[in-house]
């Protein structure tokens, strides 16, 4: 199996930078001072739900990845800019986060919602708690233009390797109750940067909707004595009208009760594949191919890169440190468009009650996506490399 080296560096103010692949530089720029941290969580007495408060985020630049802009290439003879970097993109090489060319990288968010060492919550208040956890930004490539659809098999496999590495490490920290790999793409979902990137949050308590899903999984097991996720896979397979793409290891379908018009779920077929770390080498490769195909079909649907939220649904712990047996890993795509020109707005009913109203028929959306002409790239013998963590990088700092 091929390998992918991981180098751990640290920004002067303590944030980690993980560089995957060849290390081509060190951290020699001084970033601006860290913003005043007032992050904490508050519990709503009426719902019991926790709300994360992070006022520093409101002053952050509108970049989608919460980092300042890099030097402009050509602005000075020794300005630190890297050839190929796009002016104003803080994720391009030469920027404040990764000052050198890279293959893939992960850095801790400059304006986090959750932090490994959070400040204490405000004094003199009850119903508050520290915001423990992690907020990381995942850079898929140092090239400014691209997507999971255009990166090419080796690069998408490298992204899957990075997700797996982060997932394994973050789930192994017993302070974390949930880990969410996600990507916001497009201004419609708040990401103004086109540079290919995603994010990962680790939460110190179970998010509300995740808790609901755990209850549903357990209730189904109690009532029917079988796995609800296996049942969903079987029902997707029995409904070709909702199938978007063929894949040996994953179903790729518009879900039966889709909330968003062009919602697509990529769900592991195998019982026991509950998290990224559970996937076999073949399943990892099939995941990369499925995600690339979904994004390519989205981009072909209306002829422009369709904005979406993509969230990995990994199993929470069963309370004994293991994933729930009846939870199959899924990647869920939630695009806000309901037509070429119209966006679905999550308005009063959906926001206030949680009841979604889908303006489209899931089978019709699936047919539109399945009809997009798709020519897969040559996956050949491409495989997801195994990450070899923590190659010492001290000599380069
Ligand atoms: Zn860029
Ligand atoms: Zn199952």
% the chain with pLDDT above 70 = 90
Structure-model confidence comparison of residues 13 and 291, the more confident one: 291
291 C-alpha to center of ligand 2: Å? 21
314 C-alpha to center of ligand 2: Å? 13
Q: What is the pLDDT of residue 396?
A: 45
Closest CA to 256 of 287, 232, 226, 221: 232
279 C-alpha to center of ligand 2: Å? 14
Q: What is the pLDDT of residue 3?
A: 95
182 C-alpha to center of ligand 1: Å? 19
Q: What is the pLDDT of residue 33?
A: 52
Closest ligand to 82 CA?
1
Structure-model confidence comparison of residues 82 and 182, the more confident one: 182
Closest ligand to 315 CA?
2
Three-state DSSP state, 67 = coil
pLDDT band at 59 (very low <50, low <70, confident <90, very high): low
Q: What is the pLDDT of residue 316?
A: 97
148 C-alpha to center of ligand 2: Å? 27
Closest ligand to 330 CA?
2
Q: What is the pLDDT of residue 312?
A: 98
Location of structure tokens 């060492």: 117
Asked whether the predicted pLDDT for residue 224 surpasses 70, the reply is yes
CATH topology of domain 3-208+389-396: HIT family, subunit A (3.30.428)
Rounded average pLDDT over 231-251: 98
Tell me the per-residue pLDDT of 258-273, one tens digit each, with 9 for 90 and over: 999 999 999 999 999 9
Tell me the per-residue pLDDT of 355-384, one tens digit each, with 9 for 90 and over: 999 999 999 999 999 999 999 999 989 999
146 C-alpha to center of ligand 1: Å? 10
Rounded average pLDDT over 3-17: 91
Closest ligand to 195 CA?
1
**Helices 208-224 and 228-237, packing angle to 10 deg:** 90
Asked whether the predicted pLDDT for residue 32 surpasses 70, the reply is no
Closest ligand to 231 CA?
2
Q: What is the pLDDT of residue 380?
A: 86
The beta strand positions in the chain, using DSSP E, are 3-10, 16-20, 40-43, 50-53, 104-108, 128-129, 133-139, 178-185, 197-203, 243-245, 250-253, 264-268, 308-313, 330-334, 386-391
Structure-model confidence comparison of residues 58 and 317, the more confident one: 317
Which residues have their alpha-adjacent CB atom under 5 A from ion ligand 1? 86, 89, 91-92, 144, 195
124 C-alpha to center of ligand 2: Å? 47
Rounded average pLDDT over 314-340: 95
The burial of 59, by beta-carbon neighbours within 10 Å (0-12 exposed, 13-18 middle, 19 or more buried), is given as: exposed
Tell me the per-residue pLDDT of 160-219, one tens digit each, with 9 for 90 and over: 999 999 999 999 999 999 999 999 999 999 887 889 999 999 999 999 999 999 999 999
Q: What is the pLDDT of residue 27?
A: 87
Q: What is the pLDDT of residue 84?
A: 78
Are the CB atoms for 264 and 292 separated by under 8 Å? no
In angstroms, rounded to a whole number, what is the distance separating the alpha carbons of residues 239 and 395?
Answer: 57
Q: Work out the mean pLDDT of the chain and round it to a whole number.
A: 91
Asked whether the predicted pLDDT for residue 70 surpasses 80, the reply is no
Rounded average pLDDT over 74-88: 64
Q: What is the pLDDT of residue 111?
A: 86
Q: Are the folds of 3-208+389-396 and 209-371 the same?
A: yes
The DSSP symbol for 149 reads T
What ranges do the domains of the chain cover? Answer: 3-208+389-396, 209-371
Tell me the per-residue pLDDT of 43-55, one tens digit each, with 9 for 90 and over: 999 999 999 999 8
pLDDT band at 56 (very low <50, low <70, confident <90, very high): confident
pTM over 0.85: yes
Catalytic residues: 197
Q: For 363, left (φ over 0), alpha (ψ -120 to 50), or beta?
A: alpha
Q: Does domain 209-371 have CATH number 3.30.428.10?
A: yes
Structure-model confidence comparison of residues 297 and 33, the more confident one: 297
pLDDT band at 60 (very low <50, low <70, confident <90, very high): low
Are the CB atoms for 288 and 365 separated by under 8 Å? no
75 C-alpha to center of ligand 2: Å? 56
């Amino acid at each position: 199996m091929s390998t992918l080296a991981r180098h751990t560096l640290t920004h002067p103010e303590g944030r980690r930078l993980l560089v995957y692949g060849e290390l081509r530089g060190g951290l020699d720029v001084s970033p601006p001072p860290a913003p005043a941290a007032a992050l904490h969580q508050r519990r709503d007495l009426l719902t019991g739900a926790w709300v994360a408060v992070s006022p520093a985020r409101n002053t952050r630049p509108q970049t989608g990845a919460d980092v300042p802009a890099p030097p402009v290439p050509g602005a000075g003879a020794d300005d630190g800019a890297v050839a190929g970097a796009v002016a104003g993109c803080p994720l391009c090489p030469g920027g404040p986060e990764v000052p050198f060319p890279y293959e893939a990288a992960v850095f801790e968010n400059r304006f986090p919602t959750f932090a490994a060492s959070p400040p204490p919550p405000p004094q003199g208040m009850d119903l508050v708690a520290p915001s423990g956890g992690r907020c990381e930004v995942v850079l898929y490539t140092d090239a400014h233009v691209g997507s999971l659809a255009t990166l090419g098999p080796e690069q998408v496999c490298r992204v899957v390797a990075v997700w797996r590495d982060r997932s394994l490490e973050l789930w192994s920290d017993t302070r974390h109750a949930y880990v969410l790999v996600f990507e916001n793409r497009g201004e419609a979902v708040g990401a103004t940067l086109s540079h290919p990137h995603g994010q990962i949050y680790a939460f110190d308590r179970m998010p509300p909707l995740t808790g609901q899903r755990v209850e549903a999984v357990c209730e189904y097991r109690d009532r029917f004595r079988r796995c609800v996720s296996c049942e969903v896979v079987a029902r997707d397979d029995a409904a070709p009208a909702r199938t978007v793409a063929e894949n040996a290891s994953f179903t790729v379908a518009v879900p039966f009760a889709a909330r968003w018009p062009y919602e697509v779920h990529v769900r592991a077929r195998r019982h026991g594949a509950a998290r990224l770390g559970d996937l076999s080498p073949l399943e990892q490769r099939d995941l990369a191919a499925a995600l690339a195909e979904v994004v390519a079909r989205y981009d072909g649907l209306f002829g422009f890169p369709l904005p979406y939220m993509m969230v990995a649904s990994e199993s929470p712990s069963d309370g004994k440190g293991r994933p729930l047996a009846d939870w199959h890993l899924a990647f869920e795509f939630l695009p806000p468009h309901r037509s070429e020109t119209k966006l679905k707005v999550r308005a009063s009913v959906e926001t206030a009650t949680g009841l979604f109203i889908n303006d489209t028929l899931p089978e019709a959306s699936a047919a539109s996506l399945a009809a997009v002409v798709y020519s897969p790239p040559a996956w050949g013998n491409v495989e997801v490399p195994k990450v070899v963590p923590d190659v010492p990088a001290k000599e380069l700092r």
